[in-house]
Amino acid sequence: MSQSERAPCSPASQGRAAPPRAMAWRRRRTAWLRFWREYRRNRAGVVGLAGLMLFVLLALAAPLLVDPAQLSLTGAPGTPYQPPSARFPLGTDNFGRSLLDLVIWGSRVSLTVGFLATLVSVTLGSLVGILAGHFRGWTATVLMRITDWFLVLPTLVLAIALAAVLSRSTLTVIVAIGVTAWPTTARLVRAQTLAVEARPYIERAKALGGGHGHIMLRHVLPNVMPLVLAQTTLLVANSIITESTLAFLGLGDPTTVSWGAILQDAREAGAISAGVWWYLIPPGLAIALVALTFTLCGRALEGVLNPKLRERR
Amino acid sequence: MSAPPRPHTERAAAPPRRRQWRPRAGTLRYIGGRLLSSAVSLLAVMVTGFFLFRILPGDPVLAMTRGRAVTVEQLAQLRREFGLDQPLPQQFLDYCLGVLRLDMGMSYQYRAPVSELIGARLWPTVLLVGTATVLAAILGLWLGTRAAWRRGSATDRLNTGLALTLWSVPTFWLGLLLIAALATGIGPMPGLFPPGGMMTPGTTGTLAVAVDVAHHMVLPVTTMVAVVYAQYLMIMRSSLLDELGGDYLVTARAKGLRNDLVLRRHAVPNALLPTVTLIFLNLGQVVAGTILVETVFSWPGLGTLFYEALKVPDLPLVQGLFIVFSASVIVMNLFADLVYPVLDPRVRP
């Protein structure tokens, strides 16, 4: 993909009859097809992608499948602890709510937090990484010292501390995860930025009078993006697990349904020692499956985008 | 972390002799630099602790008494008790001096010094984390080596798949499942292990206590190992795969060494070095794992204390534990930095 982004700048693309914009699009399309061909070769990645789409569709379609009124404690349709049956395919919880409905509804919070927290951390990480890679000298030193320091701190402990002192809401969880998860991205982006900036076309852009902003946005960023994408998919898996962990520790929004919160309810209600397995297995399995699909996609992307890894397989 | 240079020459199989390694000016400078940077990190942890728990919550006393009926006098009394009626710079100074003297204030919930509470709960955590880390490292390194050596084989695919799956599973859920399956018992199978705690009350005698604690440790340690070993496996696998391209392995084979010897004496020692550092660097995640595992299994350690403090929230205690957890990770990293040159002659300053 990085080939295509570079294309408009390379001398080979000049002096042809076709308008440059159309040609750029054509190149982009072939690069995309090449990327997809390469990705498709990784069977685990394709499985992960399919699973991912399924989960996203489920979360989007949740309001069609589930009546939110039945998820409140008072509107519960069944009696407590009913084992799986035709009416409640995954049984009911200690309030008589359908677990299938809870798990479907929980996917919304888990995926939202996963995506948004990743967005926050990837944006922060890319910003710090590109700045630290582009401006050498003391800016880079200071930024990298901060990054290294965050890298050393136990992420979850910091996230828990943040979530504990701020008010209980989904936004807090997103901020707590986003603010603590960015350093790995920053390191990765900085390394890639340094590699990109050593290429001759950056020198050409500088010679033509490109400023810092132009070089960082138009030349470095497009070349860094593919690797960031792979990192992002891996980060989403982490964020979803962290979200469920925070919810399980009682630090999530108490009014929303999320997979971690369901597990916390199960534990507090004593469902584990009572042997109510249908209360315990579905939410955890959902977390694990979503995290696994993201991990599989991320590894497949990494394999396609990082030639060093590609040879190894 | 900078990766060590790739070896292109064959390294002596025998461990490097100690006599060759004398403290020189360069070594001393290296150690001094590491110590200094760790000290700066610790200082930063201290400042973050203050920022997180004194400034970010607005009024810490209001945060702690949230949802409880307290009078204005009680609030004022609490503020005085925690020194919150002082101006902020004075608070910061008192706090810093306190932390340096290992005095982290009084717990709101237990009405006891935070450092005392932490000291009392430290050893169970060290026991749990130590056992789990050692077991996970052995298992992960061994399986990672096998996976890399036979890459692409069924063993490799099985190991990598299992590791990825376990890596995706939330720690606490795995713990809950183990309790449900092995402590509560399924159907006719009785509970094999206790569902929580560290020992049965009333056990006496050194041997009996040791056996009882070991019995209680099985499930928590299994949970932690399952979550942590996967990472070590993946690191060892990729590290060994990096080494497998090395010319020195061709040399070793050309000399007529058996495959097994090439692996054991040549490839593994080189692959082990980056892995060891990464194991130390990943201790932050082990700390996170402890909090969850201890909470799920009611193990009377720092993790459970953290969870109990969070529920109140008992901010002085949370703050103290935050500092202890972060400091332990920094100290472990320092340890890794100092041990690494001893293990690996290539990075000696």
**Length of chain A as a residue count:** 313
Convert the pLDDT of each residue in B79-94 to its tens digit: 777 777 778 888 888 8
Flag whether residue A90 sits within 8 Å of chain B, measured between CB atoms: no
Flag whether residue A292 sits within 8 Å of chain B, measured between CB atoms: yes
Quick one: pLDDT at residue A4? 44
End-to-end CA distance of chain B: 15
Contact A248 B169 (CB under 8 A): no
Cα gap B154→B157, rounded to integer Å: 5
Quick one: pLDDT at residue B310? 85
Q: Are B267 and B244 in contact (CB under 8 A)?
A: yes
Contacts of B40 (CB under 8 A, 6+ apart): none
Question: Which whole number is the average pLDDT over B204-230?
Answer: 86
Flag whether residue A50 sits within 8 Å of chain B, measured between CB atoms: no
Flag whether residue A266 sits within 8 Å of chain B, measured between CB atoms: yes
Flag whether residue A234 sits within 8 Å of chain B, measured between CB atoms: no
The residue behind tokens 């063993």 is B155
**Residue B291 with chain A: CB contacts under 8 Å:** 156-157, 160, 249
Count of Cβ atoms closer than 10 Å to residue A32 Cβ: 12
Contact B179 A277 (CB under 8 A): no
As a whole number, the mean pLDDT across chain B is 81
Count of Cβ atoms closer than 10 Å to residue A208 Cβ: 8
Q: Are B346 and B4 in contact (CB under 8 A)?
A: yes
Contact A295 B168 (CB under 8 A): yes
Number of inter-chain CB pairs under 8 A, A vs B: 134
Please say if the pLDDT value at position A116 is more than 90. yes
Contacts of B59 (CB under 8 A, 6+ apart): B84
Of the candidates B171, B180, B311, the beta carbon closest to that of A275 is on B180
Q: Are B191 and B183 in contact (CB under 8 A)?
A: yes
- Name the residue of chain A whose CA is nearest to B187's CA: A275
Convert the pLDDT of each residue in B100-117 to its tens digit: 888 877 887 888 888 888
- Band of residue A310 on the pLDDT scale cut at 50, 70, 90: low
**Residue A168 with chain B: CB contacts under 8 Å:** none
**Residue B329 with chain A: CB contacts under 8 Å:** 152-154
Quick one: pLDDT at residue B338? 83
CATH of the domain spanning A94-312: 1.10.3720.10
What are the phi and psi torsion angles at B69 (to 5°)? -85, 110
**Residue A158 with chain B: CB contacts under 8 Å:** 322, 326
- Name the residue of chain B whose CA is nearest to A191's CA: B2
Quote the minimal CA–CA distance from B203 to chain A in Å: 24
Contact B167 A251 (CB under 8 A): no
What are the phi and psi torsion angles at B18 (to 5°)? -65, -35
**Residue A237 with chain B: CB contacts under 8 Å:** 168
The residue behind tokens 């890319």 is A126
The H-assigned helical ranges of B51-102 are 60-64, 72-81, 88-100
- Band of residue A125 on the pLDDT scale cut at 50, 70, 90: very high
Contact B310 A160 (CB under 8 A): yes
Of the candidates A164, A280, A299, the beta carbon closest to that of B313 is on A164
Cα B133–Cα B139–Cα B143 angle in degrees, nearest 5:
145
This complex has an ipTM of 0.79
Two tokens at A13?
């693309």
Q: Mutating which of A43, A55, A146, A156 best tests the B interface, going by the most B Cβ atoms within 10 A?
A: A156
Q: Could you tell me which of A116, A120, A132 has the C-alpha nearest to residue A186? A: A132
Question: Which whole number is the average pLDDT over A235-264?
Answer: 87
DSSP-derived secondary structure for A100-168: HHHHHHHHHHHHHHHHHHHHHHHHHHHHHHHHHHHS-THHHHHHHHHHHHHHHS-HHHHHHHHHHHS-S
- Band of residue A174 on the pLDDT scale cut at 50, 70, 90: very high
- Band of residue B349 on the pLDDT scale cut at 50, 70, 90: low
Q: Where are chain B's structural domains?
A: 35-347
As a whole number, the mean pLDDT across chain A is 82
Quick one: pLDDT at residue B190? 67
Please say if the pLDDT value at position B154 is more than 70. yes
What are the phi and psi torsion angles at B103 (to 5°)? -110, 110
Of the candidates A156, A244, A284, the beta carbon closest to that of B288 is on A156
Cα gap A15→B66, rounded to integer Å: 71
Q: Are A306 and A227 in contact (CB under 8 A)?
A: yes
Q: What's the fold here for domain B35-347?
A: MetI-like fold (1.10.3720)
Q: Are A136 and A288 in contact (CB under 8 A)?
A: no
**Residue B165 with chain A: CB contacts under 8 Å:** 288, 292
In three-state secondary structure terms, A92 is: strand
- Name the residue of chain A whose CA is nearest to B62's CA: A165
**Residue A284 with chain B: CB contacts under 8 Å:** 169-170, 173, 176-177
**A90-104, B15-29, B43-57, B229-243: the lowest-pLDDT one:** B15-29
In three-state secondary structure terms, B12 is: coil
Contacts of A265 (CB under 8 A, 6+ apart): A93, A94
Q: Are B302 and B294 in contact (CB under 8 A)?
A: yes
- Name the residue of chain B whose CA is nearest to A188's CA: B1
Contacts of A174 (CB under 8 A, 6+ apart): A113, A116, A117, A120
Convert the pLDDT of each residue in A33-67 to its tens digit: 988 888 888 888 899 999 999 999 988 888 888 77
Q: Where are chain A's structural domains?
A: 94-312
Cα gap B49→B52, rounded to integer Å: 5
Cα gap A179→B199, rounded to integer Å: 39
Quick one: pLDDT at residue B193? 76
Question: Which whole number is the average pLDDT over B159-164?
Answer: 85
Please say if the pLDDT value at position A121 is more than 60. yes
Q: Are B99 and B46 in contact (CB under 8 A)?
A: yes
Contacting A residues, span 114-153, partner chain B, CB-CB under 8 Å:
149, 152-153
Of the candidates A161, A237, A299, the beta carbon closest to that of B52 is on A161
**Residue A47 with chain B: CB contacts under 8 Å:** none
Contact A165 B171 (CB under 8 A): no
